[in-house]
């Protein structure tokens, strides 16, 4: 399939095209340069507007005394609820410490103890303190700053901002050889053009904007996953959408990006309370507020439903030095009229992270030759059914290095694309709100056959509202629609509760579903579904 779009009016070329400017995209670009490859880095808005800079908690790595990759692996597998690829997790935890050291060499500055050692904190699901952080709760901003500085210092990395990637280009044997993109700018690269490369890396981040409330920025419309789907690549685990348990509740009518209250706040000792002031997590899980995110999010939703409440409360009033440890969160609360030093913080779950995505191997290769994926865009298997806190930034660091090495070792010659004659699709941008509201209502934290079928019916009606006027809003809306279709199909198929997929009509976890659901689109828009068994853990 392809998006309805004008014919390309200009051409650019580089050895490698990297789409996305978060930790995965920036690190991939820098690693490709270590092999002498030229890079075209395409980013949707300004180069610093991705999800990475919003990351508050930190990066998980076995760097502390008494910690080990084996212990990190165990915690990751527990959080992944039986659906992690063990080999992928092992790569993550064993190569993670060196990847963090490389990030520090590139200029990232992390918080330190008085002794001079890197400060380590703890988050939900971790049995050790292994989360490194920067600026208290501004880890993503510091990582983004350091990597952007390194990219800007390299003249062989051309950065194209305000560029929405549209579709993959294929040569006469079906290999990916570039992308089409729309650039809002001046000069010869204004409007739709094509970029030719020997390899394309998708690092476009998440798809949180599929839902009405999310922690993701407005640019997170899953463009890379949607492009890969239309190119015929396999996607997997897309039903596992992690909802962050503690997002600042701004009222019933709030939509779009919501302020995140980092899990590290609970790691430092914050309490979750119901309307009666009870610490309800103590009765639910041995780790109480530090239980895995899916457990906390589901527990909050159940408390809200039981009490007919719109949110629960986060209590940080007893934490000494909260405003210094979490200056960003403190400022956000104050800006919304809440003084967390003296008042309870209203919080509720919101869409946060996609554990699934474009299915890749241990070197980031997708099922379509020449196309790679990294970070939240990819399904490497490390997260399984539920991502362990602060493993996301680490995944971007580790697998970007592997992708660059694989590209350098297997670089083909430049090839020319052939015309894409597959079915074209474009929805009216006015349906974006309808998609988001329907997905939040029927495919959110708590799901059932009835709710999913109702949302599927909504999408069927929405599909008829097409557009003949290509624009950024229409392209984004079409991407969100196709991703919503994939999420719904997988969520209906998986008749169990596992990790961040919670079926009220199938409340138990079933061994027969210890497999991942793999989906593909053909050039006519027909969906196929398969299964991939997961090895013993």
As annotated, the active-site residues are 293
Q: Answer for the pair 172, 418: CB distance below 8 angstroms, yes or no.
A: yes
* Helix, strand, or coil (residue 382): coil
Which residues on neighbouring strands pair with residue 191, listed in sequence order?
183
The strand pairing partners of 18, in sequence order, are: 41, 201
Which of 315, 310, 320, 264 lies closest to 133 in space, CA to CA? 264
Q: Give the separation between CA 335 and CA 330, rounded to whole angstroms.
A: 9
Tokens describing residue 140: 């993503």
Closest CA to 398 of 85, 39, 61, 136: 61
Beta strands in 364-418 (DSSP E): 371-373, 378-379
308 vs 177, 300, 302, CA distance in Å? 53, 12, 10
- Token pair for 513: 């579903």
What distance in Å separates the CA atoms of residue 276 and residue 349, rounded to the nearest whole number? 19
Please state, in angstroms and rounded to a whole number, the distance separating the CA atoms of residues 69 and 99.
Answer: 13
* b/e map 483-519, b = 16+ CB within 10 Å: bbbbbbbbbbebebbbbbbbbeebeeeeeebbebbbb
Residue the block writes with tokens 């790569």: 91
**Residue bearing tokens 């890379």:** 224
Which H/E stretch holds residue 295? helix 293-307
Where do runs of H (alpha helix) occur along 466-537? 472-493
What's the token pair of residue 453?
């079928």
**Distance of alpha carbon 419 from the chain centroid:** 31
**Tokens 């996953």, residue?**
225
Q: φ and ψ at 199, to 5 degrees?
A: -155, 150
Residue identified by tokens 């000792």 is 269
* Residue 374 · residue 28 · CB < 8 Å: yes
The two structure tokens encoding residue 511: 């061994």
Whose CA is closest to 329, among 262, 427, 249? Answer: 262
CA angle 323, 250, 313 (to 5 degrees): 60
Query: H-type helices in 55-185, by residue range?
Result: 69-79, 86-105, 139-152
Residue 480 phi, psi (nearest 5): -60, -40
Beta bridge partners of 348: 247
3-state helix, strand, coil in the chain (%, to 5): 35, 20, 45
């Amino acid at each position: 399939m392809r998006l309805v779009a004008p014919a390309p009016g200009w051409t650019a070329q580089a050895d490698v095209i990297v789409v996305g400017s978060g930790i995965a995209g920036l690190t991939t670009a820098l690693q490709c340069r270590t092999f002498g490859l030229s890079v075209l880095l395409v980013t949707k808005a300004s180069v610093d507007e991705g999800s990475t800079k919003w990351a508050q908690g930190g990066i998980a790595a076995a760097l502390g005394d008494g910690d080990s990759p084996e212990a990190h692996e165990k915690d990751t597998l527990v959080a992944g609820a039986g659906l992690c690829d063990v080999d992928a997790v092992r790569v993550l935890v064993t190569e993670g410490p060196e990847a963090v050291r490389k990030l520090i060499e590139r200029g990232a500055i992390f918080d330190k103890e008085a002794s001079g050692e890197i400060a380590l904190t703890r988050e939900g699901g971790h049995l050790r303190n292994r989360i490194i952080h920067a600026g208290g709760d501004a880890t993503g901003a510091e990582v983004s700053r350091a990597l952007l500085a390194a990219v800007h210092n390299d003249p062989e990395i051309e950065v194209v901002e305000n560029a929405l990637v549209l579709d993959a280009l294929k040569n006469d044997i079906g290999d990916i050889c570039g992308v089409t993109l729309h650039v809002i700018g001046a000069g010869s690269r204004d409007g739709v053009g094509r970029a030719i490369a020997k390899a394309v890396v998708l690092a476009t981040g998440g798809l949180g904007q599929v839902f009405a409330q999310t922690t993701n920025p407005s640019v997170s419309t899953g463009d890379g996953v949607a492009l890969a789907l239309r190119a015929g690549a396999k996607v997997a685990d897309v039903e596992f959408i992690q909802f962050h348990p503690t997002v600042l509740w701004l009222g019933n009518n709030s939509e779009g990006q919501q302020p995140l209250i980092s899990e590290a706040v609970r790691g430092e000792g914050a309490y979750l309370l119901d309307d009666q002031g009870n610490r309800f997590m103590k009765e639910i899980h041995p780790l109480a507020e530090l239980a895995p995110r899916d457990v906390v999010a589901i527990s909050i939703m159940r408390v809200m439903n039981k009490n007919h409440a719109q949110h629960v409360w986060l209590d940080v009033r007893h934490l000494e030095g909260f405003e210094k440890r979490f200056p960003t969160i403190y400022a956000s609360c104050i800006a919304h009229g809440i003084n967390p030093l003296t008042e309870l913080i209203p919080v509720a779950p919101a869409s946060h992270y996609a554990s699934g995505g474009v299915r890749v191997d241990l070197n980031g290769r997708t099922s379509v030759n020449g196309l790679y994926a990294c970070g939240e865009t990819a399904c490497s298997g490390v997260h399984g059914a539920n991502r362990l806190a602060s493993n996301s930034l680490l995944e971007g660091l580790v697998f970007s290095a592997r992708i660059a090495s694989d590209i350098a070792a297997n670089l083909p010659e430049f090839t020319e694309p052939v015309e894409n004659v597959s079915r074209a699709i474009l929805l009216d941008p006015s349906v974006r709100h309808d998609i988001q509201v329907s997905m939040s209502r029927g495919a959110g934290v708590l799901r059932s056959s009835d709710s999913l079928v109702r949302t599927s019916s909504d999408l069927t009606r929405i599909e008829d509202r097409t557009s003949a006027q290509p624009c950024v809003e229409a392209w984004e809306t079409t991407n969100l629609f196709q991703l919503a279709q994939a999420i719904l199909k997988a969520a209906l198929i998986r008749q169990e509760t596992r990790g961040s997929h919670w079926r009220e009509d199938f409340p138990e976890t079933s061994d027969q579903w210890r497999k991942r659901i793999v989906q593909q689109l053909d050039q006519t828009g027909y969906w196929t579904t398969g299964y991939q068994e997961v090895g013993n853990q």
